[in-house]
Amino acid sequence: MLANVYAAFGQVFDPYVLMVILFSSIFGLFVGAVPGLTATMATALLVPVTFFMPPVPAIACIVTATAMAIFSGDIPGCLLRIPGTPASAAYTDEAYTMTKNGQAEVALGAGLVFSAMGGLFGTAVLVTAAPALAEIALKFSSFEYFWLVLLGITCAIFIASENPLKGFVSLLIGLLIACVGVGNPAGFPRFTFGDANLLGGISLVPMMVGMFAVSEVLRYALTANQPMLVVQDKIGNVFKGMWALTVKYPLQILRGSVLGTIVGALPGAGADIAAWMSYGMSKRFSKEPEKFGTGHVEGIVESGAANNSALAGAWIPALVFGIPGDSITAIVIGVLYMKNLNPGPTIFINNPVAVYSVFLVFILANLLMIPLGFLTIKVAKKILRVPRNILMPMILLFCVVGSYAINNSVFDVGVMLAFGLFAYLMEENGYPVAPVILGVVLGGMLEENFITSMIKSDGRLMAFFERPIAAGLGVMTILVWLAPVAIRLLRSRRSTA
């Protein structure tokens, strides 16, 4: 193991990789700080670039950029009352109120310092839990994997969507998109309509760029020309008083980090939901809940830690089972496959150096966040003034070239446009987009394990419950499915009684 860790150090502390980390930090900090550009969009934009890199820098690039973006999303929230990324939305009002009260330094400082702490906590859990889980996962057969994937996507629907019914529609559409092409157990070309471009399935990169970047540009087009007003001109020392806050709120930091890591690890729910839940929890357990909403830093401390720890938490199921914890890791899993680093318990045996490199990059990114984040806060006013009517067309052209670059074909530009419009229409009508990506990424795995299990058991459905872990996972999945029905029954009985 030590030899692997040593090798990982060699890989990460290579000048080329360090340069990639530095550039992606700056990119992430910038994307996070510009309202309307999200961490998921940052990932989608980076994928075409990482396509041309060796595995370790490719992953380092995404890990660093997302960690930075989640922090810097706090900056416009604090100064403009517009969250830079959805993960900052939970405490934007609080932070903005603090700024109006002349406490911008404290709000930004808390965002920065406790983001880094939460990120490091999540990383520590990832480093210890992932290999241990992988040991167990090695014993899994197709039955366990089938249930695990099904449980994962089920949780994603029930936790992450306001409207589970529409969430299911999104998921099913994603799973059906995964069916396109010859990549199925029978090797039969499905839904290709005789088009050779579709034989290999719909390319993941143009699809993701369309759904997460083009749809944002479309939304921007409708909100253009809104003036932005920065409240506070000068920002002083953001580190002042942070130690006092750490001493005052140790429990809150720990609670936020733990909750964030768990929510991150649950499939489908990522940093934004972690921040909302954690802010709510902070208010409920606070000794002074009446101060929440009046410019009180406690909730920012807790949920700021939560959204960054969720990022690392999301990597646990992604690395161990190949099941994404959020939409960012859904994209990452696609990248891992492209780099021949197939996620799953065997990655810890076949590619330990790559895994340790991921861990190292996480630690490095969260440490780098403090000085680089400090500099970003210093130049924040300039970033917020970057004209978005110039930025958005550039992003769109970047999307076009990025999608084209994967197969050097304009067919993929069409795929990108189609999915961009589709995602825009879906969101307008309350169909969540994240389950589609989850379905596309997990579709192949779900079908393969299902068909393999059916063949092994000769079509007997009871075989899915005959191994102990499979039975446990199966029962859990069915319980989650039945829970909403049971709750509704209970409610109606109570209201009639």
Partner 1 sequence: MKINDTISGAAIAALGLTILIHVQAFPAMPGQKVGPAMFPGLLAVGLLICAAGVIWRGLKTIKIEGWVAWPEWIKQHRIAAGFFLIPVVLIVYAAVSEKLGFLPTGIAFLFSLCWVFGVRPLMAFVVAVAGTLVIHTIFYKLLKVPLPWGILSGFVW
The residues of the shown chain that bind partner 1, judged by CB under 8 A, are 49, 52, 165-166, 168-169, 172-173, 175-176, 179, 184-186, 188, 190-191, 214, 217-218, 221-222, 224-225, 387, 389-390, 392-394, 396-398, 400-402, 404-405, 408, 410, 413-414, 416-417, 421, 425, 428-429, 431, 446-447, 450-451, 454-455, 458-459
Instruction: Count CB neighbours of 294 within 10 A.
Output: 11
> What does the longest C-alpha to C-alpha distance in the chain come to?
71
* 35 vs 430: CA distance, rounded Å: 22
Question: What is the sign of the dihedral through the CA atoms of 339, 86, 237 and 376?
Answer: positive
Picking from 319, 323, 268, the residue whose alpha carbon sits closest to that of residue 147 is 323
Which structure tokens are listed for 234? 């000068």
Count Cβ atoms within 10 A of the Cβ of residue 36 and give its class: 0-12 exposed, 13-18 middle, 19 or more buried.
buried
CB 195 within 8 A of CB 23: no
Instruction: Please give the structure tokens belonging to residue 113.
Output: 């310092």
Contact between residue 199 and residue 189 where contact means Cβ atoms under 8 Å apart: yes
Pick from 239, 250, 224: nearest CA to 305? 250
Among residues 462, 491, 437, the alpha carbon closest in space to that of 207 is found at 437
Secondary structure of 136-193 as H, E, C letters: HHCCCCHHHHHHHHHHHHHHHHHHHCCCHHHHHHHHHHHHHHHHCECCCCCCCCECCC
Spatial CB neighbours of 120, under 8 Å, sequence gap ≥ 6: 363, 366, 367
Three-class DSSP labels, 47-64:
HHHHCCCCHHHHHHHHHH
The number of residues in the chain equals: 497
Residue-wise DSSP of 352-417? HHHHHHHHHHHHHHHHHHHHHHHHHHHTHHHHHHS-HHHHHHHHHHHHHHHHHHHHT-THHHHHHH
Cβ-based nearer residue to partner 1, 224 or 497: 224
Nearest distance in Å: CB 453, partner 1:
10
Identify the bridge partners of residue 190 per DSSP, sorted by sequence position: 181
Distance, in Å, from the CA atom of 458 to the CA atom of 415, rounded to the nearest integer, reads 39
In degrees and rounded to multiples of 5, residue 190 shows phi and psi of -110, 140
> ∠ at Cα 474 (470, 480), nearest 5°?
150
Residue 328: name the closest of 8, 49, 59 by CA: 59
Contact between residue 467 and residue 141 where contact means Cβ atoms under 8 Å apart: yes
- Provide, rounded to whole angstroms, the least separation between the CB of residue 367 and partner 1: 28
- Angstrom distance (rounded) from CA 259 to CA 165: 26
